[in-house]
Structure 1
Amino acid sequence: MTMPPRTRSFVQVDVFSTSPYQGNPVAVVLDGTDLTDEEMQRVARWTNLSETTFVVAPTVAEADYRLRILTPDGELPFAGHPTLGSAYAWLDGGGVPRQADRIVQECGAGLVTVRRGADGMLSFAAPPLVRDGALDDAYLERIVAAFGIGRDRVLAHQWVDNGPGWAVLRLATAEEVLALEPDLALIPDAMVGAIGAYPDGSPYDFEMRTFAPRCGVPEDPACGSMNAGVGQWLTGTGAAPSAYRVSQGARVGRAAAIEVSADADGTVWVSGATTVCIRGTIVV
C-alpha cells in the first residue's frame, strides 16, 4: 500500500553574507521527526547543496534540538554554516530556546552553543578538535602538488579537524590563496583549505578557500567549521589577533564575510549574517 505524502516546513538560509544569495546556502527541514535515514539522504541528494539539515527532538535535556547534517553523499557530525543557518531557521520558525541568550544544538560532535549578539547576529562556539598538529610529510606533499605550488610557499600547516576532517595550509598572502588552481583529482579524499593574510588596512584580515572533494564539493563558498578550527589554531598560537575578519567565496562568485573571535578563556566563536531566502513546505 502506498503511504500518503508527508509535508514538512522547509527553508533555505543564506549564511555568512549580508547580501542574500552571496553566502553559502543550507536547506533546513524543520521537523525531521520519523523520517528514515534513507528519506533524509534522498532529500539531501535532491537539494544538491553542500548540506541539508533535519531538526529532530534532542536526546539530552540540555539541548534545544538535535540536528542531522547530511551532504549529498553522507552524514557529517558537525558543520558550521549549517549550524548557524539551522539555528536561525529554528528561531524564525517559532523555536524558543531554554536560555534567552543562547541555543544549545545537539549533533554528532556533541553539544554546540549558539549565541545571539546584541545586533541579532548568531555565533557558534567552535567544538573541540578531534585531530590537530602538523600534517605528515606525505600528505603535505600531496596537497602542495594538488595546489600546484612549491612547499616553500607554505608558511605553516595543521590538522584543524572538528569532525569533517579538515587540514589547512597557511600561505603568505591572500593573493596567493586566490590564485590557487587546485587539481582535486590528486586529492579525491581530502578536506583541505588555504588561508593567507591581507595587507594592513584592508577590509578583511584573511582570505580563506576550502575544498571538500571527499564530500563532492569542489570549493565551498563559506565554511564555518574550517574557520572554527583555523580560528582555534591561529588565535591559540598568536598568529592572529583575538578578533579578525575572513573573506571567502570570491573564486566561486560569492562574497562571504566571517567573523572569528576568541574569549579570554580561549573559546572561539564564529559568526556571520543569516537570511531566509526560501520559505515553504517540502513533500517527503
Structure 2
Amino acid sequence: MVLADNTLLVYWVDAFCDRPFCGNPAVVVPQADGLSEAQMQQIAREVNCSETAFVLQPTLPEADFRLRWFTPTQEVNLCGHATVAALHALAREGRFNLHPGVTEILYIETRSGVLKVLVDCKTDRPWIWLTLPECKFERIPADLARQLAAALGLPERSLSEPVADTLNRDVLVSVPHLHQLQSLTPDMAALTHLGKERGWRGFGVFTRETVEPDRDVHVRFFAPQSGILEDPVTGSVSGPIALLLRQSGESKDPERDLWRFEQGDGLNRAGRLLVELHGETPKLGGQAVTVLRGELYL
C-alpha cells in the first residue's frame, strides 16, 4: 500500500540467522498492493538484494496472502530466504494472528502454487517452516556435464553425476571435499551462457564436509544469469539437495529426516537452516533478524 505522501514501508531482514549481518538479506514490502510490476522490479534493482519480497492481497480464496519475489533483474518462481524474511516481518507487525506464544499455519499464493507455511512464535524469534513443492531430478548428459565442470572450474574427475531439479531448474553438483568447494572460482560468463541456453535458474554445488561438525551439508549457489553472482544462503535449493542425498542412500531415516545446512561462510554471511523430509516432501526451516525498518520514497 503506497501512502499518501508516496512513501512505502519496507523491512531489511537477514534470513537464516539469529544475529544481524549474517545469513541472506532480503527487503520485504509488507503492503505492496498498488505497486505495478515495473515498480516492483525498480525497487528490487534499487535495493540490490538477491531477492525482494512483496506481500499482496490473494487472488485465490484458499490463500491468506500473495507473495512475489524479484531479483535485481527479474521475477522468480520461488525464494526460500525472502519467504522466511517476509513471514518474520509480518510477525513483527502482528498480522495474520502472528503474535508471541502462538503457532499459525498460513497458505501463500505464489507462482509455484499455494504454499503451506507454519510460523512458530513460541520462541523469542519465530521459526518459519515452509513446505516446498514436489521435486524430481533429471540427469545431465555427459557432454553437457563436461561443459559444466569447465565453467565451474572443477576437474571433471571430481564431478559427481550432476542433475537438474524440476522445482527451480537448478543444477545440483556434489563434490567430495570442502576445500574444493571453498576454492571454486567459476567462469561467470560461461555459467550465464549455460544457464540461459538450458533454462536453468542457478548452480548449487555442495559437499558433505562442513565447517561446523554438527552440520550435514555445505552449499555454494551461483546464479549469474538471474543477476546473482553468488547467493549467501539459498533455502529453495536446500530442499532438493536433501531429497537428492536421500535418493543417493545417505538418508538417516526413510520416514522423517532432518538435515542441517550451512552456507555463506566464505562471503562472511554465515547462514544456517534446516530441511525436514517427511517422505518426499521437504520442509524448509529458519529464523531471521530485522536489521532495518523504514520508508522508501517513490
Whole-Å Cα distance in 2 between the matches of residues 90 and 201 of structure 1? 31
Whole-Å Cα distance in 2 between the matches of residues 199 and 22 of structure 1? 18
Change (3 A) 1:199 1:178: closer
What does residue 217 of structure 2 align with? 206
The answer on whether the counterparts of 1:160 and 1:233 sit within 8 Å (CA) in structure 2 is: no
Moved more, 238-247 or 34-43: 238-247
The answer on whether the counterparts of 1:132 and 1:160 sit within 8 Å (CA) in structure 2 is: yes
The answer on whether the counterparts of 1:57 and 1:66 sit within 8 Å (CA) in structure 2 is: yes
Q: Percent identity?
A: 26
Partner amino acid, structure 2, of 1:252: L
Change (3 A) 1:200 1:42: closer
What does residue 167 of structure 1 align with? 171
Change (3 A) 1:26 1:39: same
TM-score norm. by structure 2 comes to: 0.87
RMSD: 2.2
Query: Which SS does the other structure have where 1:186 is aligned?
Result: helix
Query: Which SS does the other structure have where 1:112 is aligned?
Result: strand
The answer on whether the counterparts of 1:87 and 1:103 sit within 8 Å (CA) in structure 2 is: no
Which ranges in structure 1 are unaligned for 5 or more consecutive residues? none
- Map residues 179-198 of structure 1 onto 2, 5 A cutoff: 179-189=183-193, 190=195, 191-198=202-209
What does residue 124 of structure 1 align with? 130
The answer on whether the counterparts of 2:203 and 2:221 sit within 8 Å (CA) in structure 1 is: yes
The answer on whether the counterparts of 2:67 and 2:110 sit within 8 Å (CA) in structure 1 is: yes
The answer on whether the counterparts of 2:162 and 2:172 sit within 8 Å (CA) in structure 1 is: yes
Post-superposition shift, 1:159?
Answer: 1.1
Post-superposition shift, 1:93?
Answer: 1.8
Query: Which SS does the other structure have where 1:155 is aligned?
Result: coil
The answer on whether the counterparts of 1:14 and 1:275 sit within 8 Å (CA) in structure 2 is: yes
Post-superposition shift, 1:23?
Answer: 0.6
TM-score norm. by structure 1 comes to: 0.91
The answer on whether the counterparts of 1:8 and 1:30 sit within 8 Å (CA) in structure 2 is: no
What does residue 274 of structure 1 align with? 288
Partner amino acid, structure 2, of 1:123: W
Whole-Å Cα distance in 2 between the matches of residues 169 and 281 of structure 1? 41
- Map residues 242-281 of structure 1 onto 2, 5 A cutoff: 242-263=257-278, 265-281=279-295
Q: Deviations over 1:201-243 (max 9, x none)?
A: 9121111000001111111000011112212222244334321
